[in-house]
Amino acid sequence: MINIPQVTLVSLSGLGYQTKENIEALKKSCENIEWGAVKYIQDNKIKDIASWNEAVIYDLPKYVETSHCLFIHGDSHIIHPELWDDEWLKLDFIGSPWPLPRWDGEFKDTLGRVQRVGNSVSLRSKRLLDLAATQPMEYHYGNNNEDGQICIWLRAWLEEQGMKFATFEQALRFGKEHELSENKDLKTFIFHEV
């Protein structure tokens, strides 16, 4: 059994939305791991993807009392708990890698750097959650994705505040969402269905 008391395993959805799937993902992610806390939050203010993204940024921090949270969804869970790495607790954000940009500007932060470490299913520090909640939501590509908010649009500002994001190599070992040339046949701690 792996003991990770510094981390809250958490999922957030609208009231009654994919309840069974979220509970099952939490249960699977508790196999062979003891967390500091496990929480499933159903928020009746969530009515669509835009309000869900806002709830992740502004409400999720209220439910995390440990130094970090592992944020999962009904379409994700831990598949290789033995790959947990305590070094990840030195980071403020680690998520599965994103693919290469499909157009100029995709995944570019405010400094023009392409960011490939993102994904909503992620390990986040409480201090990052609290900091991100102080900023207004940004809308790009017609949406306000919370992972884009943190990993792209606020990235440079968060780094100025001392936040540490995972390297691409660390993210490859952490999780898989997209099949990439870099993660072909690679075992990961967690996965997120596309």
Report the pLDDT averaged over residues 169-173.
96
How much of the chain exceeds pLDDT 90, in percent?
A: 88
pLDDT reported for residue 194: 66
Tokens representing 155?
């990235």
pLDDT at 141 over 90: no
pLDDT at 143 over 80: no
Q: 66, 36 in Cβ contact below 8 A?
A: yes
Burial of 4 (0-12, 13-18, 19+ CB in 10 A): buried
Candidates 37, 40, 35, 38; CA nearest to 19 is 40
Domains of the chain and any CATH numbers: 2-192 (3.90.550.10)
Q: How confident is the model at residue 17 (pLDDT cuts 50, 70, 90)?
A: confident
3-state helix, strand, coil in the chain (%, to 5): 30, 30, 40
